[in-house]
Amino acid sequence: MRQRASIDVIGARRDESSSRRLRRVWAQREESLWRVGGRVATLVPVGALVFLVAVLAVKAWPAVKVNGGSFLTSTAWLPGNTYGGVEHVHGVTIPAGARYGAWPLIAGTLQTSAIALVFAVPVSILTAFALTEGLPGWIARPVGFVVEVVAGIPSVIIGLWGVLVLGPFLARHVYPLVANRIPDVPVLKYLGGSVGYGEGLLTSGLVLGLMIVPIIASTTRDLFLQVPALPKEGARALGMTDAEVARRVTLPWVRSGVIGAAVLGLGRALGETIAVAMVSGSVLGVVSPNLYGTMTTIAATIVSQLDSAATDGTGFAVATLAEAGLLLAGISIVVNLAARAIVHRSGALGAPVGRA
Amino acid sequence: MAQVLPTGLPSTRGRRARAVAFRVLMLGALAFVVGPALWLVVGVVGRALPGWRWNVLTTLSQGTSGGLANAVVGTLVLMAGVLILAGTTGVLTGIYLSEFAQGGRGVTVVRVAIDVLAGFPSIVLGYVGYVALCVGLGWGFSLLPALMILSFMVVPYIAKATEAALHQVPTSYREGAEALGMPGGHALRRVVVRTALPGIVTGLLIALSIAGGETAPLLYTAGVTNNLPTWSLLHHPIAYLTYYVWTDWNQPTAAAHVVSYDASLILVVMVLAMLVVARLIVSRTQRHAESAT
């Protein structure tokens, strides 16, 4: 405020030229320009979010009315007779025989994300330890760069690699090692059976796991760097090994932040589309009977079905995809808000790496 | 802190074994990160290089064969558009949140919206773009809906990176500028934002690499065409690289596979180049900051 007043005093000189005057006015106004511009810009993310949710809700409403509560539990995915007869359900016109249930998609989404977390959380935490304490700087730096590269590789390319290279390799050389040794008993049976050709549940989960490692690892690394040195040195002075310091000092210090990072990774895994669409096998209406079977997720179904849904003249198939999208967006929003709450409470500044 | 001292001390041999196991696990985890990353890059480059011809960059696509000039230019156009739309919006949002926001409910709403938008599933964004913009408003597959949807996706990253970069500017810089009598806006532009510029540019580069590598939000908003982009924002579809990776890998012909691998190679090179530049900016400014203190 004070500098403005001084300029006013200088500006009061009568011999001021017009260009000087212009510059003075600009100097006074510039800050409010930044402020107003910024405030207008902040309307964009808020407006975008309102727009997205509103469009989804409006589009999904007919499908919500027709599909009802069984949408969450039914396994049917029948587009009905798109060439002829229509039926009217709750005032909505739908193709004759159209029945949709999202349970296989929901199950697939949750299963692949769970596998991804089981793989990514330990790997990320150990990687973060290696980057901050375990490795000398000359090797930690390039490894850190590799983690960034994984975050930046387009998901369609990870999917391409997953379906052409990783999936077939795992199905030929790795999955049989486990699957062929599993006895035919109730719970364990899930790990056995046919391993297929590498497109399916476990491959999708592992690919997702690889994709979310950078998110969890980079956040965890930043958290570890915030742990003060004194307690760690004290623990070491008491004779603790590196492993004991890591488990009993460093990790407990930032536990809630690490959980937040994992939930952030979960959010990404739930919404990932293209890579899963390529390696899941994309079969509709089926919950995989074992760990290796082909399946699909909500996101993968939307991307692979929107084309054919658009041919449904009644618009019911598109509306059903909106309902599925609303469901997925709802899950993602809840998960992201939870991650936000946890990370903020632990005081970590979420570094933006890749798509979170 | 009560947990720091283990209550029942295990034997020395057991502890030593566990310390070794920890190191082994750490290296094993690294192998699970670095191994697939190298395998992936080698897998993609190894498939693309044998059949690589430079005229891929100059000839137009014929769908499942031909070149990728239209897709390369299209991806660059999309990235430039995102830089203009999302770059302006995101940087201004970040500046507002860091420099002007006083707290309060409105700012909380903005912050929550940014976090939620950052985690919004990309295919749902694409779906809304298709349903509301391409069909609902009758814009067709075209540049503007694609840019809007991509921008919704990356604005949160740019805003967060900008805010984080501005937070790193030392308070003494702001105080020094004020002590010299600089008007607030002038100090913001010439001192604060300029100091934070490397961080902001890094955020923009990461956002651009996301925009260039996305597929799901574009499939139903940008459409595809074998021609070069036109200058029209509406009604004219625009090609992009990820489309060809996504569509051509499981086509029956070998020519289509070559298109898919070539597009992958170009994408990988583009992303790596942007990450290296971002890295260089960060390391150069870090050295600068260290020598300054």
Listed range (A236-240, A292-296, B61-65) with the worst mean pLDDT? B61-65
CA distance B30 to chain A (A): 6
Of B112, B215, B272, the CB nearest to A149: B272
What value does the mean pLDDT take over residues B82-99?
93
What tokens does B82 get? 């995102």
Listed range (A218-227, A337-346, B184-193) with the worst mean pLDDT? A337-346
B21 or A81, which is more confident: B21
Listed range (A71-80, A187-196, A271-280) with the worst mean pLDDT? A187-196
Does residue A5 register a pLDDT over 50? no
pLDDT value of residue B267: 92
Q: Categorize the per-residue pLDDT at A249 as very low, low, confident or very high, splitting at 50, 70 and 90.
A: confident
Angle at B32 between CA B28 and CA B37, to 5 degrees: 140
What value does the mean pLDDT take over residues A28-55?
90
pLDDT value of residue A15: 60
CATH number of the structural domain spanning residue A107: 1.10.3720.10
Give tens-digit pLDDT for A127-186. 999 888 878 888 888 888 888 888 888 999 999 999 989 988 888 888 888 887 877 777
Q: Are strands A81-89 and A77-78 parallel, antiparallel or unpaired?
A: unpaired
d(CA A60, CA A79): 16
Residue A16 placed within a domain: no
Q: Provide, as residue numbers in chain B, all residues whose Cβ is less than 8 Å from the Cβ of A337.
A: 112, 115-116
pLDDT value of residue A6: 46
Torsion of CA B212, B216, B218, B219, to 10 degrees: 130
Q: Provide, as residue numbers in chain B, all residues whose Cβ is less than 8 Å from the Cβ of A147.
A: 33
What value does the mean pLDDT take over residues A55-65?
88
Does residue A349 register a pLDDT over 80? no
pLDDT value of residue A66: 83
Residue B178's CB: how many other CB atoms inside 10 A? 16
Does residue A228 register a pLDDT over 90? no
pLDDT value of residue B119: 85
| Residue range(s) defining the domain that contains residue A298 | 102-346
Domain boundaries, chain B: 78-241
One-letter amino acid for residue A318 of the chain: V
Give tens-digit pLDDT for B242-278. 998 898 888 888 888 888 898 999 999 998 898 888 8
Please give the C-alpha separations between residue B242 and each of A296, B165, B168, B215, B262, in angstroms, as whole numbers: 21, 31, 35, 6, 11
The secondary element (H helix, E strand) that includes residue B165 is helix B143-167
Residue A50 placed within a domain: no
Does residue A84 register a pLDDT over 50? yes
Residue A241 placed within a domain: yes
Q: Categorize the per-residue pLDDT at A63 as very low, low, confident or very high, splitting at 50, 70 and 90.
A: confident
Max CA separation in chain A (angstroms): 98
Q: Which of B24, B189, B215 to mutate to test the interface with A (most CBs of A within 10 A)?
A: B215
Task: Count the domains in chain A.
Answer: 1
> What DSSP character marks residue B2?
T
Architecture of the domain spanning B78-241: Orthogonal Bundle (1.10)
User: What ipTM does this complex have?
Assistant: 0.86
Q: Categorize the per-residue pLDDT at B94 as very low, low, confident or very high, splitting at 50, 70 and 90.
A: very high
The answer to whether residue A51 neighbours chain B at the CB level (below 8 Å) is yes
Of B30, B157, B220, the CB nearest to A130: B30
Q: Which residue has the tokens 């019911």?
A: A316
Q: Provide, as residue numbers in chain B, all residues whose Cβ is less than 8 Å from the Cβ of A217.
A: 33
d(CA B45, CA B38): 10
pLDDT value of residue B190: 84
